[in-house]
Amino acid sequence: MADQSQTRRGPAKPGAAGTKKQYFRRKKVCKFCVEKIDTINYKDTKLIGSFVAERGKMIPRRISGVCAPHQHRLANAIKKARNIALLPFAAEY
């Protein structure tokens, strides 16, 4: 092999061995579990509207932090609210 200070990508930087900065990402908690909301009502457009993006798409679990059972109930509530025109299907242009 060649020199120990070189890797396949090129020469090693001095002082760069294992100095990657660690970021602490806080675990997202379910809003419905924390506030002890049992039912997600499709008529409560203020609540479920916060889980719909500007373009009219549902915000996924990994971004909103909602647990799986509440995400399923939330999705059904959003779909019902869309069908009776409480929420838009798509963005307004």
Look up the pTM and report it.
0.70
Report which of 57, 68, 58 is spatially closest to residue 30, judged by C-alpha positions.
68
What domains are defined for the chain?
22-83 (4.10.640.10)
Quote the radius of gyration of the chain (alpha carbons, Å): 23
Residue tagged 């059972």 (tokens): 69
Instruction: For residue range 1-59, list pLDDT tens digits in order.
Output: 555 555 566 566 665 566 778 888 888 899 999 999 989 999 999 999 999 999 999 99
